Amino acid sequence: MPDQKTQDGLNSRPPEADQGTKTPDTASAPVDQRTLYQRSRCLFSGSYTHGIDAKGRLIIPASFREELGTPFVIAPTPDFQAVALYPAQEWVRQEEKLEALADLDARAIRLINQFSKYSYRDGETDQQGRLLLPQKMRSKYLENVRDVEISGAKTYIRIVSAENGEREDELFAQDFPDPLAFIAQLQQNARS
Q: How confident is the model at residue 108 (pLDDT cuts 50, 70, 90)?
A: confident
**Amino acid in the structure at residue 107:** R
Contact 137, 74 (CB under 8 A): yes
pLDDT at 12 > cutoff 70:
no
Q: What value does the mean pLDDT of the chain take?
A: 82
Q: How confident is the model at residue 28 (pLDDT cuts 50, 70, 90)?
A: low
Q: How confident is the model at residue 105 (pLDDT cuts 50, 70, 90)?
A: confident
Q: How confident is the model at residue 99 (pLDDT cuts 50, 70, 90)?
A: confident
Say which CATH topology domain 47-167 has.
Chemotaxis protein chec (3.40.1550)
**pLDDT tens by residue, 72-88:** 999 999 899 999 999 99
| Close Cβ partners of 89 (under 8 Å, ≥ 6 residues apart) | none
**pLDDT tens by residue, 169-184:** 999 999 999 999 999 9
Q: Would you kindly state where each structural domain of the chain is located, as residue ranges?
A: 47-167
Instruction: Burial-class residue 141 by CB neighbours within 10 Å (0-12, 13-18, 19+).
Output: buried
Question: Taken in order 177, 155, 167, 165, is the CA torsion positive or negative?
Answer: positive
pLDDT at 20 > cutoff 50:
no
Pick from 39-43, 71-75, 146-150, 182-186: least confident:
39-43
- Cα–Cα distance between 112 and 32 in angstroms, integer? 37
4 or 36: which carries more pLDDT confidence? 36
**pLDDT tens by residue, 115-138:** 899 999 999 999 999 999 999 999
Confidence (pLDDT) at 159: 97
- Cα–Cα distance between 58 and 181 in angstroms, integer? 38
Three-state SS letters, the chain? CCCEECCCCCEECCHHHHHCCCCHHHCCCCCCHHHHHHHHCCCECCEEEEEECCCCEEECCHHHHHHHCCCEEEEECCCCCCEEEEEHHHHHHHHHHHHHHHHHCCCHHHHHHHHHHCCEEEECCCCCCEEECCHHHHHHHCCCCCEEEEEECECCEEEEEHHHHHHHHHHHHHHCCCHHHHHHHHHHHHHC
Average pLDDT rounded to a whole number, residues 62-77: 92
Confidence (pLDDT) at 104: 86
Cβ atoms within 10 Å, residue 185: 11
pLDDT at 65 > cutoff 50:
yes
